[in-house]
Amino acid sequence: QVQLNQGGTRILKSSETLSLTCGVSGGSLSGYTWSWIRQPPGRGLEWVGDIDQGGSTNSNPSLKSRVIISVDPSKKQVFLNLSFMTAADTALYYCARVVDNYSMDVWGKGTTVTVSS
Amino acid sequence: QSALTQPASLSASPGQSITISCTGASTDFGTSKFVSWYQLLPDKAPQLLIYDVTERPSGISSRFSGSKSGNTASLTISGLQADDEADYYCSSYRSNNPFIVFGGGTKLTVL
Please state whether beta strands B86-93 and B35-40 pair in parallel, antiparallel, or not at all (unpaired).
antiparallel
What is the longest distance spanned by two Cα atoms in chain A? Answer: 40
Sheet holding A77-82, edge to edge: A3-5, A18-25, A77-82, A67-72
- What is the per-residue pLDDT for B29? 83
Residue A30 CB-half CA count within 13 A: 3
Residues 6+ apart with CB under 8 A from B41: B47, B86, B87
DSSP letter, residue B82: G
Give the pLDDT mean for A91-113. Answer: 95
Which pLDDT value is given to residue B46?
97
The phi, psi pair for B84, rounded to 5°, reads: -85, -10
DSSP-derived letter for residue B42 is: T
pLDDT at A98: 96
Q: Please report the pLDDT score of residue A62 as a whole number.
A: 93
Give SS3 for B14.
Answer: coil
pLDDT for the residue numbered B6: 97
Collapsed DSSP state (helix, strand, coil) of residue A109: coil
Chain B residues 11-40 within an 8 A CB cutoff of chain A = 33-34, 36, 38
Q: Nearest Cβ partner of B101 from A47, A103, A105?
A: A47
Instruction: Find the mean pLDDT for residues A44-67.
Output: 94
The whole-angstrom distance between B77's CA and the closest CA on chain A is 19
Report the pLDDT value the prediction gives residue B26, as an integer from 0 to 100. 77
The pLDDT score that the predictor gives to residue B44 is 94
- CA neighbor of A111 nearest in space, from A92, A97, A96: A92
Alpha-carbon distance B73 to nearest alpha carbon in chain A (angstroms)? 15
Across chain A, what does the average pLDDT equal? Answer: 95
The answer to whether residue A101 scores a pLDDT higher than 90 is: no
- The whole-angstrom separation of Cα A35 and Cα B46 is 13
Provide the pLDDT for residue B77.
Answer: 98
Nearest residue in A to B95, CA atom: A102
Q: If chain B, 111 residues long, is cut into consecutive pieces of 10 residues, what is the mean pLDDT of each piece?
A: 90 97 86 93 95 96 96 97 97 91 96 90
Q: How many CB pairs under 8 A join A and B?
A: 69
Q: What is the tens place of the pLDDT at every residue in A3-50?
A: 999 989 999 999 999 999 999 999 999 899 999 999 999 999 999 999
B33 to chain A: closest CA residue: A101
Mean pLDDT of A104-109: 97
Q: What pLDDT is attached to residue A100?
A: 78
